[in-house]
């Protein structure tokens, strides 16, 4: 315990040392005086022979210390003192950094929630996702699709890389019985699904090997959430029969609450997956709906599995040529798959947030440089007293670290607020709402924040640290503070920093501007419909009683008739797909009289099965020909409507009315052709989509659908009409569940919500970036003016007018601005373009970007002007007498 004793007795040790050295000098002096020197001479001589007293003392003390740690704590104490002494500097730097860090932490919490969580299955690293892939397309998730049942069965048999291959298919179920009928999302899975993934149920059992046989498949596993919500966590539900789509299913298990694989809200129940016989026809290889996972055999890797999948896909293509043309297969780790689902959007936001942080760092670096000028004397004195360069750099970095940690702490606070905001924004949409739910500030996020803070400290601390300590000792001490302040190198560095900052901010602004432009373009483009005073309600006929297509049509016919009869209803219709809704349906088609093509080579069009009054209810204009009539029944010749985009693309130089087309709405080619009887207006599919795409309509009486959305145009507030609508539908069938009725305006708002949140985020970041950059320019200019007070005084004494001084200072700011804008533009154009192209390939043409670039440049220029004008005004207030009296 020697070291402990030393630690506590150190103060005495140090005292002894000083006294001893003092006595040493005294003794020497006395001896010299005794030898005949004057006392003064003797003192000098003694000191000369002894050497540097302070250094000797310090060296002697060092013997007793753990130098690095103790110096570090000393640096920390000293740094904290320096910050306390400059509260303004400390506040500005800490807040600046906090903003940059908060931006990154907020986005990272989303990344962490969505992309980095491990799936709760056994050994997820050995599980791969198998997809149908298009090798011709770039990555980022655009290039892949689920797997068809046909391919799944073939690949499961033929592959050698896997212990097991399992599939899941999402399906909506209507859960009826006690209480209101309810639609729940279910997943039909292979019998060995849970066994292969190594997932245990909390209660009961998983599926048995033969439960994927038709007839034995009426068993269900409930999610913990559904069990709690619908069954009050009653364990007696086990073995009970529940009604799903009108059929009885026996409850065999309850899933453990923490089970999760993907990102989106998981299914609420699981039932065995049984393939209908038609899915084994080669023609159905195009129906890709299975999410396939496989567990690697020992010895197999993701790479070998991928190679094998490519071979298997080739074999399938050779066996059934043309059935899945252009598509291959691939395998990827589950983590990789999940990350890709969010990939581009999140990476873009991460990048933008990083820009904000970079600007913040540059800002702080330049502030530190400015302050470094004031501290130059301090550093010179310390050098003179024997401090090494490394020691000074370290001191400087420790101070940066203190700022960084304080900024990180504050940033974390700001981020928790940002996460709240973002979560609220995301909750608007169902499909990204689950991202919001996963966003929290957990320990991973905190470690990230700490890491970013430390990294930032190095970023903004190193340049000033090196700069401050690189000084000529002599000149600094000799010339006093003013001479140094004009050190060219420092000014150059500062100018470079400010220029960089302006360039970064410009890139941000342009990126945000481009986003906002795209958004506004979509808002202003119109949707092709009149969405005001329209109520919609999605109805899914999944009860067993509606298997027959004539029954489906009859249900909707009666519902529409009842609605039309209600007072306050202007028109009522139904459509199989609601434009701007959650999804669109695309089918391939052929035109009569043109060369026959295989399915993959045929043209594609959006597809809607509608009732005649749907067009009127949604305000879609009939351009030519006629609308569907109630006489277009299943017994009459098939008819179709197409939109103008369809005509433009496929009948550019001929009259489309009277032509016949065949829409591939089922797995098999139909024998009958539908005659085009009319052309209707274009309707946008989704908010994001800018271009109009071909659309085709068929009457629901001829092409029935079990899922349709009722569309009702009302004379008054559509939202208030919802209960009436429900009653009307239940009048037809009291067991029919109805999803939340929404006004068309709400549907449109949801469709644009994702893009709006992205816009708000990027806009906020750009605004922060601009503000930080303006502060940076301001600080540098203000500092420069303060340093040049003397010079300005002389100029004014020699007759310079205030306007000359103003111009001189502002000019410097604008020169910096111009250089920054130049480099920012060079950086922005390709960067912004590249990133956006990855997010969406339906963008405004590049030549329409001009205004955005101009506006961004103008904003930055204005910010630079303002930021240098204020200090310039101050410069003109310099009183020559006072300035010169400084001497």
List residues binding another protein (CB under 8 A).
6, 16-17, 19-21, 23-24, 26-28, 30, 49-53, 55-57, 59-64
CB of 59 to another protein, least distance (A): 4
In the bound state with another protein, the residue whose beta carbon lies nearer, of 55 and 319, is 55
CB of 11 to another protein, least distance (A): 15
CB of 53 to another protein, least distance (A): 7
What count of Cα atoms within 13 Å lies in the side-chain half-sphere of residue 339?
Answer: 12
In the bound state with another protein, the residue whose beta carbon lies nearer, of 21 and 410, is 21
CB of 20 to another protein, least distance (A): 5
Q: How many residues does the chain have?
A: 887
In the bound state with another protein, the residue whose beta carbon lies nearer, of 6 and 158, is 6
CB of 62 to another protein, least distance (A): 7
Tell me the backbone φ, ψ of residue 661, rounded to 5 degrees: -130, 160
Beta-strand pair 162-176/288-296: antiparallel
Give start and end residues of each alpha helix (H) in 162-250: 193-197, 224-231
In the bound state with another protein, the residue whose beta carbon lies nearer, of 109 and 383, is 383
Nearest to 589 by CA among 506, 666, 518, 485: 666
Nearest to 172 by CA among 159, 186, 162, 160: 186
Nearest-angstrom CA–CA distance, 450 and 412: 9
Tell me the backbone φ, ψ of residue 137, rounded to 5 degrees: -95, 155
> Over the range 338-364, which residues count as b (16 or more CB within 10 Å of their CB) and which as e?
bbbbbbbbbbbbbbbbbbbbbbbbbbb
In the bound state with another protein, the residue whose beta carbon lies nearer, of 59 and 636, is 59
Nearest-angstrom CA–CA distance, 605 and 601: 13
- The separation between the first and the last C-alpha atoms of the chain, rounded to the nearest angstrom, is 59
CB of 41 to another protein, least distance (A): 17
Name residues whose C-beta falls within 8 Å of residue 524's C-beta, 6 or more positions apart in sequence: none
In the bound state with another protein, the residue whose beta carbon lies nearer, of 390 and 846, is 390
CB of 393 to another protein, least distance (A): 22
Nearest-angstrom CA–CA distance, 719 and 533: 8
Structure tokens, 777: 């320019």
Nearest-angstrom CA–CA distance, 491 and 472: 16
In the bound state with another protein, the residue whose beta carbon lies nearer, of 53 and 818, is 53
CB of 9 to another protein, least distance (A): 11
CB of 477 to another protein, least distance (A): 17
Cα–Cα distances in angstroms (integers) from residue 490 to residues 92, 372, 484, in the given order = 21, 9, 9
CB of 478 to another protein, least distance (A): 19
In the bound state with another protein, the residue whose beta carbon lies nearer, of 49 and 123, is 49
CB of 26 to another protein, least distance (A): 8
Nearest to 459 by CA among 517, 400, 527, 376: 400
Question: Which residue spans within 153-211 are E strands per DSSP?
Answer: 162-176, 182-189, 201-204
In the bound state with another protein, the residue whose beta carbon lies nearer, of 59 and 842, is 59
Structure tokens, 821: 């804008």
In the bound state with another protein, the residue whose beta carbon lies nearer, of 223 and 383, is 383
In the bound state with another protein, the residue whose beta carbon lies nearer, of 3 and 846, is 3
SS (H, E, C) 714-763: ECCCCHHHHHHHHHHHHHHCCCCCECCCEEHHHHHHHHHHHHHHHHHHHH
DSSP-assigned beta bridge partners for residue 489: none
Largest CA distance in the chain: 136
Nearest-angstrom CA–CA distance, 144 and 586: 17
Nearest-angstrom CA–CA distance, 150 and 325: 15
CB of 63 to another protein, least distance (A): 4
CB of 33 to another protein, least distance (A): 13
In the bound state with another protein, the residue whose beta carbon lies nearer, of 48 and 85, is 48
Nearest to 363 by CA among 98, 659, 85, 730: 98
Structure tokens, 706: 């079990």
- Which residue matches tokens 């993959």? 600
DSSP H helix total and E strand total for the chain: 26, 23
Residue 731 and residue 587 in contact, taking contact as beta carbons nearer than 8 Å: no
In the bound state with another protein, the residue whose beta carbon lies nearer, of 41 and 592, is 41
> Over the range 209-218, which residues count as b (16 or more CB within 10 Å of their CB) and which as e?
eebbeeeebe
CB of 813 to another protein, least distance (A): 47
SS (H, E, C) 402-418: HHHHHHHHHHHHHHHHH
CB of 18 to another protein, least distance (A): 10
Nearest-angstrom CA–CA distance, 506 and 526: 31
CB of 32 to another protein, least distance (A): 12
CB of 50 to another protein, least distance (A): 5
Secondary structure class of 393 (helix, strand, coil): helix
Tell me the backbone φ, ψ of residue 870, rounded to 5 degrees: -60, -50
In the bound state with another protein, the residue whose beta carbon lies nearer, of 49 and 842, is 49
In the bound state with another protein, the residue whose beta carbon lies nearer, of 15 and 326, is 15
Nearest-angstrom CA–CA distance, 712 and 534: 6
In the bound state with another protein, the residue whose beta carbon lies nearer, of 56 and 586, is 56
CB of 64 to another protein, least distance (A): 6
In the bound state with another protein, the residue whose beta carbon lies nearer, of 55 and 74, is 55
Nearest-angstrom CA–CA distance, 500 and 433: 37
In the bound state with another protein, the residue whose beta carbon lies nearer, of 34 and 740, is 34
Nearest to 101 by CA among 409, 362, 324, 318: 409
């Amino acid at each position: 315990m020697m070291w402990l004793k030393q630690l506590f007795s150190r103060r005495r040790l140090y005292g002894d040392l000083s006294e001893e050295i003092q006595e040493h000098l005294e003794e020497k002096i006395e001896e010299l005086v005794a030898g005949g020197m004057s006392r003064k001479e003797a003192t000098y001589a003694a000191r000369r022979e002894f050497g540097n007293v302070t250094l000797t003392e310090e060296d002697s003390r060092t013997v007793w210390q753990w130098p690095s740690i103790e110096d570090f704590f000393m640096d920390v104490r000293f740094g904290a003192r320096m910050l306390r002494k400059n509260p303004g500097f400390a506040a500005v730097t800490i807040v600046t950094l906090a903003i940059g860090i908060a931006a990154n932490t907020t986005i990272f919490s989303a990344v962490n929630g969505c992309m980095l969580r491990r799936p709760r299955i056994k050994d997820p690293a050995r599980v791969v996702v198998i997809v149908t892939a298009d090798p011709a397309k770039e990555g980022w998730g655009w290039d892949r699709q689920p797997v068809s049942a046909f391919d799944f069965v073939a690949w499961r048999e033929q592959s050698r890389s896997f212990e097991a291959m399992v599939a899941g298919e999402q399906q909506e179920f209507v859960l009826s019985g006690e209480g209101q009928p309810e639609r729940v999302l279910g997943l039909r899975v292979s019998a060995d699904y849970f066994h292969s993934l190594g997932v245990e149920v909390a209660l009961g059992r998983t599926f048995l090997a033969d439960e994927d046989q038709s007839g034995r498949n009426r068993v269900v596993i409930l999610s913990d959430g559904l069990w709690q919500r619908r069954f009050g966590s009653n364990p007696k539900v086990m073995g009970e029969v529940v009604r799903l789509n009108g059929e009885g299913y026996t409850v065999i298990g309850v899933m453990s609450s923490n089970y999760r694989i993907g990102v989106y809200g998981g299914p609420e129940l699981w039932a065995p997956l049984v393939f209908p016989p038609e899915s084994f026809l080669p023609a159905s290889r195009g129906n890709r709906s299975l999410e396939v996972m496989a567990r690697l055999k020992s010895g197999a890797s993701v790479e070998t599995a991928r190679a094998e999948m490519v071979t298997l896909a080739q074999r399938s293509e050779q066996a059934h040529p043309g059935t899945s043309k252009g598509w291959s297969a691939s395998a990827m780790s589950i983590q990789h798959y999940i990350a890709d689902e969010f990939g581009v959007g999140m990476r873009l936001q991460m990048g933008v947030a990083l820009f904000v942080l970079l600007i913040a760092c540059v800002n702080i670096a330049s502030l530190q440089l400015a302050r470094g000028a004031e501290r130059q004397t301090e550093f010179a004195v310390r050098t003179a007293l024997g401090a090494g360069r490394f020691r000074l750099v370290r001191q400087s970095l420790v101070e940066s670290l203190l700022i960084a940690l304080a900024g990180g702490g504050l940033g974390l606070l700001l981020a928790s607020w940002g996460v709240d905001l973002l979560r609220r924004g995301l909750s608007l949409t169902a499909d990204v709402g689950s991202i919001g739910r996963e966003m929290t500030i957990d320990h991973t996020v905190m470690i990230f924040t700490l890491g970013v803070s430390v990294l930032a400290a190095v970023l903004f601390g190193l340049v000033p640290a090196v700069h401050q300590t690189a000084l000529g000792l002599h000149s600094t001490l000799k010339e006093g503070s003013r001479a140094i302040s004009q050190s060219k190198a420092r000014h150059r560095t500062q100018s470079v920093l400010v220029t960089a900052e302006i360039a970064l901010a410009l890139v941000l602004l342009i990126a945000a501007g481009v986003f906002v432009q795209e958004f506004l373009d979509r808002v202003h483009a119109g949707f092709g419909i009149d969405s005001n005073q329209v109520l919609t309600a999605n109805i899914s006929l999944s009860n067993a009683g509606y298997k027959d297509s004539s029954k489906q049509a009859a249900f909707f016919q009666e519902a529409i008739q009842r609605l039309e009869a209600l007072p306050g209803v202007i028109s009522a219709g139904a459509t199989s797909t609601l434009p701007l809704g959650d999804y669109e349906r695309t089918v391939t088609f052929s035109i009569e009289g043109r060369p026959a093509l295989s399915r993959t080579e045929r043209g594609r069009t959006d597809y809607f099965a509608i009732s005649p009054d749907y067009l009127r209810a949604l305000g879609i204009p009939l351009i030519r020909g006629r609308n569907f009539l109630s006489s277009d029944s299943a017994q009459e010749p098939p008819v179709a409507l197409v939109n103008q985009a369809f005509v433009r693309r496929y009948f550019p130089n001929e009259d489309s009315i009277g032509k016949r087309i065949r829409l591939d709405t089922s797995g098999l080619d139909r024998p009958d052709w539908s005659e085009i009887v009319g052309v209707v207006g274009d309707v946008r599919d989704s908010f994001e989509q800018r271009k109009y795409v071909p659309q085709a309509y068929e009457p629901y009486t001829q092409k029935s659908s079990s899922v349709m959305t009722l569309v009702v145009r009302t004379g008054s507030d559509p939202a208030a009409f919802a209960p009436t609508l429900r009653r009307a539908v239940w009048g037809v069938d009291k067991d029919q569940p109805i999803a939340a009725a929404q006004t068309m305006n709400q549907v449109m708002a949801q469709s644009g919500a994702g893009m709006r949140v992205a816009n708000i985020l990027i806009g906020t970041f750009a605004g922060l970036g601009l503000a930080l950059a303006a502060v940076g320019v301001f600080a540098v200019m203000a500092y420069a003016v303060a340093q040049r007070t003397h010079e300005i005084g002389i100029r004014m004494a020699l007759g310079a007018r205030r306007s000359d001084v103003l111009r001189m200072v502002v000019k410097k700011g604008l020169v910096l601005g111009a250089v920054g804008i130049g480099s920012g533009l060079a950086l922005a154009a390709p960067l912004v373009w590249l990133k956006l192209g990855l997010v969406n390939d339906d963008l405004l043409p590049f030549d329409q970007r001009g205004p955005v670039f101009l506006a961004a440049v103008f904003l930055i220029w204005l910010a630079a002007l303002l930021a240098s004008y204020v200090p310039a005004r101050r410069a003109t207030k310099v009183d020559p007498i006072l300035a010169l009296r400084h001497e």
